[in-house]
Amino acid sequence: MSSFKELKSIDLASYTIISTAIAVLFSIISSIVLVVGIGIASPQAIAGVIYIISTIIIGTLMYTVYNAFCQGFLYNFLTKKINTIKIAFKDDKEIVKVSPTETSIIVSMIITIQVILLYLVSVFLFPLLLNSIIQTLMYSSQQLLAYSLYQFLMLLSQPTIIAMIIFGTFIITFVFVLLGCYIYNILANTGRGAVVTLSNQDNMTAIDSVDVLKLAIVFAVVGGVLNLILALITLISGGDILTSLGNIIGGFVGAFINGALIAIFYNFLAPKLGKLKLELIDQ
């Protein structure tokens, strides 16, 4: 039996903490893979690379805290102005449907607002960064590179280009999220939707655990189909068939691993750091 619920709000503290912890674990694994890869390719360079690990991990920590809090805050703010995301659960466990239009609109708006915020920050930092880079290149006798970089960055700072980036961000995000939702709903109708264990906590709904295999399959199918669409567009545009095939396979395998790791990390971290809490309202 299916029941429809409305995602009214997201608990900012739990969302920020669990998202940051998962991202940090990913950064640790990525750093280890990077060190091993460089160590095999160039053993003499491994000592210098080890110092980069702390930068990667700390950078990931700082960025994810901001990004997760911003996303959660924007969702809670926007749902007061527009329609919320609707989710259908089967037996209060399996997610059998996600509303495509509402999800696409709200995710697109969140990403677009973040791009605008990034631009507003860059307005103050851009001149300082540009001046520093240009001076460094000039002192290094790289006048041509300095001039080329200056021209490129000035082009990106043009209002028309900025407007195109913002508008393009909304449209591209909307289209791909919409496609992803439709692909998921088709997959879920076959009984292969994501499965979560829920409980009531502090007048909210907590996600106790996530089925690892189910989530990995969802990520793999959605990611694989989206990469297939991109590959077809690339082929029509004159792209190489072997490269496109590699992107499809890589997207499928990468998405499967990514989905599995997210579920594994969540199940490991949630009992220790706190479960993700959502305000789900029955429709």
Question: Is residue 137 scored above 80 in pLDDT?
Answer: no
d(C-alpha 219, C-alpha 193), whole Å: 10
- The number of distinct structural domains making up the chain is 1
Residue 82 CB coordination number (10 Å): 10
Q: Which of 163-167, 198-202, 207-211, 218-222 has the lowest mean pLDDT?
A: 163-167
Q: Which residues contact 19 (CB under 8 A, 6 or more apart)?
A: 64, 67, 68
| Residue 104 lies in domain | 2-282
Give 205's strand partners: 200, 278
**238-253, pLDDT tens digit by residue?**
777 888 788 888 889 9
Structure tokens at 279: 């305000």
Predicted model pTM: 0.83
